[in-house]
Protein backbone atom coordinates (compact mmCIF):
# COMPACT_ATOMS: atom_id res chain seq x y z
CA UNK A 1 0.00 0.00 0.00
CA UNK A 2 1.42 3.39 -0.89
CA UNK A 3 1.27 6.47 1.30
CA UNK A 4 -1.26 8.04 -1.04
CA UNK A 5 -3.73 5.21 -0.50
CA UNK A 6 -3.64 5.51 3.31
CA UNK A 7 -6.65 7.09 4.95
CA UNK A 8 -5.29 9.58 7.49
CA UNK A 9 -8.59 11.23 8.25
CA UNK A 10 -11.21 9.69 10.50
CA UNK A 11 -14.31 8.34 8.85
CA UNK A 12 -16.99 11.00 8.47
CA UNK A 13 -19.62 10.86 11.18
CA UNK A 14 -23.08 9.74 10.26
CA UNK A 15 -24.62 12.93 11.65
CA UNK A 16 -23.39 16.32 10.57
CA UNK A 17 -22.92 19.13 13.08
CA UNK A 18 -26.13 21.19 12.92
CA UNK A 19 -25.48 24.68 11.49
CA UNK A 20 -28.11 26.13 13.83
CA UNK A 21 -26.22 24.83 16.85
CA UNK A 22 -22.94 26.21 15.49
CA UNK A 23 -24.54 29.64 15.08
CA UNK A 24 -25.91 29.58 18.63
CA UNK A 25 -22.49 28.61 19.99
CA UNK A 26 -20.82 31.46 18.09
CA UNK A 27 -23.41 33.96 19.34
CA UNK A 28 -22.97 32.79 22.94
CA UNK A 29 -19.18 32.99 22.67
CA UNK A 30 -19.42 36.53 21.26
CA UNK A 31 -21.74 37.53 24.10
CA UNK A 32 -19.37 36.10 26.70
CA UNK A 33 -16.41 37.84 25.04
CA UNK A 34 -18.23 41.19 25.08
CA UNK A 35 -19.05 40.82 28.77
CA UNK A 36 -15.46 39.84 29.60
CA UNK A 37 -14.09 42.77 27.60
CA UNK A 38 -16.31 45.22 29.48
CA UNK A 39 -15.30 43.75 32.84
CA UNK A 40 -11.62 43.97 31.89
CA UNK A 41 -11.98 47.60 30.77
CA UNK A 42 -13.77 48.52 33.99
CA UNK A 43 -11.16 46.79 36.15
CA UNK A 44 -8.19 48.32 34.31
CA UNK A 45 -9.77 51.78 34.56
CA UNK A 46 -10.39 51.34 38.31
CA UNK A 47 -6.83 50.15 38.87
CA UNK A 48 -5.32 53.02 36.88
CA UNK A 49 -7.50 55.59 38.64
CA UNK A 50 -6.56 54.16 42.02
CA UNK A 51 -2.85 54.23 41.21
CA UNK A 52 -3.02 57.80 39.92
CA UNK A 53 -4.97 58.89 43.02
CA UNK A 54 -2.26 57.35 45.17
CA UNK A 55 0.28 59.57 43.42
CA UNK A 56 1.76 57.17 40.89
CA UNK A 57 3.37 58.63 37.79
CA UNK A 58 1.28 57.93 34.65
CA UNK A 59 4.36 56.46 32.92
CA UNK A 60 4.77 54.04 35.83
CA UNK A 61 1.12 53.00 35.54
CA UNK A 62 1.56 52.45 31.80
CA UNK A 63 4.63 50.31 32.40
CA UNK A 64 3.07 48.31 35.22
CA UNK A 65 -0.09 47.66 33.23
CA UNK A 66 2.00 46.75 30.18
CA UNK A 67 0.06 49.14 27.98
Q: What is the mean pLDDT of each run of 10 residues along the chain (67 residues)?
A: 67 80 96 97 97 97 95
Distance (Å, whole) CA 46 – CA 40: 10
Q: Which of 11, 29, 13 is nearest to 21 (CA)?
A: 29
pTM value is 0.65
pLDDT at 3: 62
Amino acid sequence: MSVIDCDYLPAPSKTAFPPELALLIVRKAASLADAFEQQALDQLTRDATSALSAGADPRQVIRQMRL
